[in-house]
Amino acid sequence: MPTQILFPLLATLLFLNAAQAQEHEKSVNAPAPVSLTKEERAWLNKHKKIKIAYDGELPPYSFADKSGNIKGVAVEIVSLLAQRLGIQFETYPHVAWSKVYKDAVTTDKVDVVATMVNRPERLIWFNFTKPYINKTLVVVVRSDNKEISARSDINGKKVALFKDYKYINRVLKEFPKIKPVFVNSLTDGLQAVSKGKSEAAVIFSGAGYFLKNDPKYADLKIAAFYDYNIFNESMAVRKDWPLLATILQKGLDSISEEEKQNIFDKWVPPLPEADIKTAAAKTDQPIYHAQDEEIEPVTEKPAIPQHLLIKAAAAVTSALILLGLWTYALRRPGNRKNNRYHNLDTDNS
């Protein structure tokens, strides 16, 4: 066979073999398909779009950039779920936590909240997946600060704290001599330290994302752990869609540890090689309680359903009047979620 024909033929064969080997490797390493029941697949076929809301003030887990686009760990996890489950997620336009929470509880505008701590009182309104994001509280100081290297060193200092998070109550109880500087966001806390308005900030370890990527915070460092891997974020699904919570959990279970780690490495830089004992000394009580993650401002909490108040008042008068008022309340339009709250409360009493 002439050389001018042989060489191109061999090159073509080598190319085809390499391509075949690459495709084989992809198929071997590809994630196994998510196994759904007929009922679950039928449910997804019926619900083509799922409205999902993000906390836009939780960087780097979920946050709105300067253009208003939502980014972060949770967004990438949801993107994987969309691919593997064939779900079309529609992002809810509001990102303020108080607005997201209120609308998820009181309306049908939100089907899923991407990140929420599973607290007992929230089970009235939501089904939760298992936690898929763990957050650590850290102490951030200026790089030239030599006085704070452990959690106990913040006592007596000016410390930036999130004013809309309950953990601050326990920080203040544990270290009563703290001079609190209340801030609205993680970046506000970092700026308070950078500009000298506070000597430290007790904030989530996601601050490391900004310390690494934003020159404005080049003068800051993580000095110590406060509590380690204690705030656990789950996906919260509207209560009347339990099947969706099961489906999402199967999707989360299909994400390998390597895939999760790759996402976290992108958004959450490794924490400093600090002695983990600084997170909770033997004589200290860790501050964590699951219910202490977020505060829902009193003005943003859903009001107690009116028919519950009617029920309580009517019960004093007579059971017959109570039954009539209860039936009337259940038939009122627009009370789907309030009625569900009513029924659950009754069943558990």
- The residues spanned by each domain of the chain are 38-133+234-260, 135-231+271-299, 303-348
| Helix spans in the chain (H) | 3-29, 38-46, 73-85, 97-106, 167-174, 186-194, 207-213, 242-253, 257-267, 306-317, 319-331, 336-348
Determine what percent of the chain is predicted with pLDDT higher than 70: 67
Q: Token pair of 68, please?
A: 């208003």
- 135-231+271-299: same fold as 38-133+234-260? yes
Q: What is the pLDDT of residues 288-300, one digit of tens each?
A: 334 444 444 333 3
Of 58-72, 153-167, 319-333, the poorest mean pLDDT is in 319-333
Give, in words, the CATH class of 135-231+271-299: alpha beta
Percent of the chain with pLDDT over 90: 48
The whole-number pLDDT of residue 1 equals 54
Which residues sit opposite 83 in a β-bridge?
Answer: none
| pLDDT level of residue 265 (50, 70, 90 thresholds) | confident
Q: How far apart are CA 111 and CA 343, in angstroms?
A: 20
Closest CA to 278 of 328, 232, 319, 227: 227
Least confident of 29-38, 47-56, 57-66, 127-136: 29-38
Give the amino acid at 23.
E
Phi, psi of 57 (to 5 degrees): -120, 30
Instruction: Give the least confident one: 17-31, 104-118, 229-243.
Output: 17-31
Number of alpha carbons in the 13 Å side-chain half-sphere of residue 156: 4
Predicted confidence at residue 287, as pLDDT, reads 37
Using CA atoms, how far residue 211 sits from 143, 161, 262, 296, in Å, is: 11, 18, 19, 28
Residue that wins the pLDDT comparison between 349 and 103: 103
Q: Write down the pTM of the prediction.
A: 0.67
Q: What is the mean pLDDT of residues 233-238?
A: 97
Residue range 210-228: average pLDDT? 86
Q: What is the CATH number of domain 38-133+234-260?
A: 3.40.190.10
- Please give the average per-residue pLDDT across 105-130, as a whole number: 95
